[in-house]
Structure 1
Amino acid sequence: MTRSTVRLSALVAVAGAVAMGFGGCAGADASADVAAAGGAPADEVTLGYFANVTHAPALVGLEEGFFADALGGTELSTEVFNAGPAAIEALTAGAIDVAYIGPNPSINTFIQSGGQSARIVAGAAVGGAALVVRDGIDSPADLEGATLATPQLGNTQDVALRAWLADEGYETDTSGGGDVAITPTENAQTLTLFQQGEIDGAWLPEPWVSRLVVDAGAHVLVDEADLWEDGAFPTTVLLVNADFLAAHPQTVEALLEGHLAALGWLAEHPDEAAGVINAKLEADTGKGLEPAVIDRALEHVAFDADPHAETFETLVANGLEAGTQKDGSIDGLFDLSLLNGLLEADGAEPVSAGGLGSE
């Protein structure tokens, strides 16, 4: 199966899930289930996300008003982050309630809290991460002594790079030593450092992969999709503070309605997606992406409500190998019951927690 086929399959699956419309009201059965679970809508909810193409469901949901429509009287505020560990700090401190985030920080907080901190309630994006390097690096053997960047120590791309380097026989450590030096760096600074010749490459999410390729002349050494079966690996999931989920399941359900509406819109409006995503990126960062950059980025990302729970045990093993997480169980990390209630009420197939939580 080609990557484009994987992307199309994911989008078609999501489109089918939202074809009847998740503009702001759930099916009666799903609403009844949430009401039975107790709790009341929150007065306010704070959503964290990154200004990345891999967070397009958040960008579209905000720009097109899907979250606001679904939340009704609940006030929505937002916070923009650069990488997962910083967002996790905010989530666990209660500064935000929900986050679009990578799987590895989600795993880390769950294990470190003994399963008490947060739950993954949906998937968001698949693919869209790669190792890009300078001219002269054409194989893994050319990386000896190189300096590579990642968005933040312990984030999903940082773990992926460290695990891949270990498989290639390189030693690294979390202080930047070893055969290949890894320097966690804010994404915009990574682009600048690469252009200045201060680093040799980086493992990044989109659109930063495409920024380095199009704007700085980098080339892809490793597309992470090539390391996973059928190219399907989760880049972004929707993570909720566990206490907030228990207290306000109706608000989380409403956010999921907006999330599914955004996924459906992305599936049904591929020709408009770049413009809407770029408008939100410009609002958040002060500058949009060049057409060649955003078009290339969107070719490498799929948007999917399935969090691909079947990959998470491998992600745990990668984090342990990378030395960026503690050992521990992820049983209970997923709570997909609200998501599946919405999907089933609309006649769509439920998604699996892979034995790692509620469905």
Structure 2
Amino acid sequence: MRRTLAAALAVILLAGTAACNDDKDRADAGANLTKINVGVIPIIDVAPIYLGKNKGFFASRGIDLTLSPEQGGAPIVEGVLGGKYQFGFSNVTSLLAAQAGGAPLKAVASGVASNGRTGRDFSAIVVPDGSPIRSASQLGGKRIAVNILKSLGDTTVRQSVRRAGGNPKNLQFKPMAFPEMPGALQSGQVDAAWVVEPTLSAVLTQGGQILASNFVDTAPNLTVALYFTSQGTITAKSDLVTAFTEAIKESLRYAAAHPEEVRDVVGTYTQITDTVRIAMILPSWPEDINRPSIERVAQLGQRDGIFKKPPVLDQLLP
């Protein structure tokens, strides 16, 4: 009996020691991770980085990742330049505008791309149920919701209006967060909206209609956004930049191969219904950046007066 009791006590002590060692190992591993904060927009575009964090793609490369939501690309650019974020996710127009203005920024990886399907892309110009507007050519003088002014929404909506034969110069853009747009359309605060998923499906489930696929109208397989950092980070922490870039690329590959996990993870950082989750139209997540499409955005941005001077793509793109 005594021997049995002693053996049991020994097992308990060994288990306790092993548990303590496991806790210490985890604590040591956590202490060795480099903490970084990344500015993102709570839309479907950034599903890969959320999946990558959950799957350990960043932790396995020594990165303790925090993701911070912002309304659009412009405040994320400011956050990276100001040191609030080590890396950021931003649409290409905001990055081109920042580069043209002299900001020391550098893209490190592709972010998201149009799937190229007219009427079935993850981005669209929409109107509410019962709207008399039937074509993008009728948007002249109308109030159009975009998430940020002088950004990708402006550029691509104008291009859809041009392609439909309308006047792109007298559009009335109204800035608001994507989740606010369905309500603004229903209440008549705006006449139309530029939306991306999951807001697009939220609008469509309320009877909204698609006027145009603005990304498809702008360029074939448009590279919509990029992950980026500052030149200072690239110079001072090149190993971290390499690790982050590798983790992002693995995350993009994983998202492209696991669409159902994309649908699930979007619900962890946005408020969506099951109907919207199932209905969402997915973008493309290629690893390669489509440079000709970004050149097209740069040309349109210059035509629309968004840039202070012509952007230099070689200084921005990797």
What TM-score range do you get, normalising by the shorter chain? 0.7 to 0.9
- Give the root-mean-square deviation of aligned CA atoms: 2.2
Equivalent pair of 1:103/1:237 in contact (CA under 8 Å): yes
Equivalent pair of 1:110/1:117 in contact (CA under 8 Å): yes
Measured in 2, the distance between the counterparts of 1:184 and 1:325 equals: 19
Gap change, CA 1:42 and 1:91, over 3 Å in 2: farther
Equivalent residue, structure 2, for 1:273? 262
Does residue 145 in structure 1 map to residue 141 in structure 2? yes
Equivalent residue, structure 2, for 1:23? none
Equivalent pair of 2:104/2:230 in contact (CA under 8 Å): yes
Equivalent residue, structure 2, for 1:58? 49
Deviation at 1:43, TM superposition (A): 4.4
Deviation at 1:196, TM superposition (A): 0.9
Task: Give the alignment's TM-score, normalised by structure 2.
Answer: 0.79
Deviations 1:129-171 (A, max 9, x none): 2111133211234324321111101221222113433553425
Gap change, CA 1:228 and 1:211, over 3 Å in 2: same
Does residue 212 in structure 1 map to residue 194 in structure 2? no
The AA in structure 2 aligned to 1:202 is A
Deviation at 1:292, TM superposition (A): 3.0
The partner residue of 1:257 within 208, 231, 246 is 246
Mark the runs of 5 or more structure 2 residues left unpaired by the alignment: 1-31, 115-121
Measured in 2, the distance between the counterparts of 1:118 and 1:130 equals: 29
Measured in 2, the distance between the counterparts of 1:239 and 1:146 equals: 34
Equivalent residue, structure 2, for 1:85? 74
Measured in 1, the distance between the counterparts of 2:57 and 2:35 equals: 16
The AA in structure 2 aligned to 1:97 is Q
The AA in structure 2 aligned to 1:120 is A
Measured in 2, the distance between the counterparts of 1:267 and 1:313 equals: 25
Equivalent residue, structure 2, for 1:248? 237
Aligned positions of 1:277-296 closer than 5 A: 277-279=266-268, 281-282=269-270, 287=271, 289-296=272-279
Measured in 2, the distance between the counterparts of 1:119 and 1:106 equals: 9
Equivalent residue, structure 2, for 1:223? 213
Equivalent pair of 2:74/2:90 in contact (CA under 8 Å): no
Does residue 103 in structure 1 map to residue 92 in structure 2? yes
Does residue 328 in structure 1 map to residue 310 in structure 2? yes
Aligned residue pairs total: 277
Does residue 157 in structure 1 map to residue 153 in structure 2? yes
Measured in 2, the distance between the counterparts of 1:248 and 1:82 equals: 28
Which structure has more RCO (C-alpha within 8 Å, separation ≥ 6)?
1
Deviation at 1:291, TM superposition (A): 3.0
Percent of matched pairs sharing the same residue: 19
Measured in 2, the distance between the counterparts of 1:293 and 1:202 equals: 18
Mark the runs of 5 or more structure 1 residues left unpaired by the alignment: 1-40, 173-177, 337-359
Gap change, CA 1:333 and 1:208, over 3 Å in 2: farther
SS at match of 1:319: helix
Deviations 1:214-245 (A, max 9, x none): 2x32111111243255x400122111111101
Equivalent residue, structure 2, for 1:170? 167
Measured in 2, the distance between the counterparts of 1:206 and 1:240 equals: 25
Measured in 1, the distance between the counterparts of 2:143 and 2:312 equals: 32
Measured in 2, the distance between the counterparts of 1:184 and 1:106 equals: 18
Gap change, CA 1:57 and 1:213, over 3 Å in 2: same
SS at match of 2:66: strand
Measured in 2, the distance between the counterparts of 1:43 and 1:64 equals: 17
Deviation at 1:187, TM superposition (A): 1.5
Does residue 69 in structure 1 map to residue 60 in structure 2? yes
Measured in 1, the distance between the counterparts of 2:167 and 2:257 equals: 44
Deviation at 1:45, TM superposition (A): 2.3
SS at match of 1:236: strand
Does residue 203 in structure 1 map to residue 194 in structure 2? yes
Measured in 1, the distance between the counterparts of 2:141 and 2:67 equals: 40
Equivalent pair of 1:63/1:276 in contact (CA under 8 Å): no
Gap change, CA 1:307 and 1:250, over 3 Å in 2: same
Equivalent residue, structure 2, for 1:12? none
Equivalent pair of 1:121/1:334 in contact (CA under 8 Å): no
Equivalent pair of 1:61/1:259 in contact (CA under 8 Å): yes
SS at match of 2:224: strand
Deviations 1:265-318 (A, max 9, x none): 223322332112322x14xxxx3x223323333x34111111211212211111
The partner residue of 1:312 within 290, 294, 297 is 294
The AA in structure 2 aligned to 1:318 is L
Measured in 2, the distance between the counterparts of 1:319 and 1:302 equals: 23
SS at match of 1:328: coil
SS at match of 2:38: strand
The AA in structure 2 aligned to 1:181 is Q
The AA in structure 2 aligned to 1:292 is T
Asked which structure has the greater CA Rg, the reply is 2
